[in-house]
Amino acid sequence: MSKKFLFPYEFLEVNWRLWSFIAILTAGFGALITFPVAEISGYIDPFYSPTVLIVPLPGLFRLTCYAYRKDYHRHIFHHPLGCVNVERGEVHSQPYTGEVNGLFQLENLHRYFLYAGILILPFFYFDFLHSLTFAGGLTFRIGSLVLLANAVALTSWTFSCHAFRHLVGGNIDCYSCVTAGAARKSLFDAQSWWNSHHEALAWISLLTIFFADLYLRAVSAGLPVDLRLF
């Protein structure tokens, strides 16, 4: 007999992790919308180029990322718990039903959100180049370095994705049976190493995009943080 899946787990029960998570997201995105920076001194805020135009797509790409799923499945919805700590009152009363029931089915759209994540990457590099040449010459400042680090972090996280790993070779059962199988296997092995760092890259890229936004807000406020390197 199949077990009915309830989403989210014990929703009517007060869950401080869930509500604090919602409060942080609401406050963060509320601040971005209420106090936009957009562009200052040749710098284009990564939240507005062009993420603000399609924010639901990269947002859902990150929300359905396997690295984040592990955290909110375990710690917010308790579905499943990584392990049971009796002292915290945790029990395996909620059977794990995977991602085939309820709203968790939406997580399977992650592979399609990947395409949106890849498509917006060139804009972050354009923002970096624009910061170098906005005044007509070549000027490299700390803010340019911040934008470049953010672009590289987002690229590393995107291409270390599990869904991208499937595209480059995870969908092949026999490499010797396909054209250029050896090359595909080499690419798959390289991406597999990259993929092993996916969780760390997920959090690093999240921090860099927020840091870039905060840095540009500091520049906009007139703080002496943007030194010219050459």
Under the banding of pLDDT at 50, 70 and 90, the label for residue 32 is low
CB 161 within 8 A of CB 220: no
Closest to 105 in 3D by CA, of 116, 97, 113:
97
Region 91-106 average pLDDT: 67
Give pLDDT, residue 7: 46
* Tokens linked to 226: 């943007």
CA distance 67 to 21: 16
The percent of residues in the chain predicted with pLDDT above 90, rounded, is 22
CA distance 217 to 223: 9
Residue 2 has pLDDT above 60, yes or no: no
Residue 101 has pLDDT above 90, yes or no: no
CA distance 24 to 210: 13
Which residue blocks in the chain are alpha helix, DSSP H? 16-34, 51-54, 56-63, 66-75, 110-119, 121-133, 142-159, 162-165, 181-195, 198-220
For residue 196, the number of C-alpha atoms closer than 13 Å in the C-beta half-sphere is 5
- Segment 140-158, tens digit of pLDDT: 999 999 999 999 999 999 9
Under the banding of pLDDT at 50, 70 and 90, the label for residue 172 is confident
pLDDT higher at 20 or 127: 127
* Tokens linked to 184: 């595909």
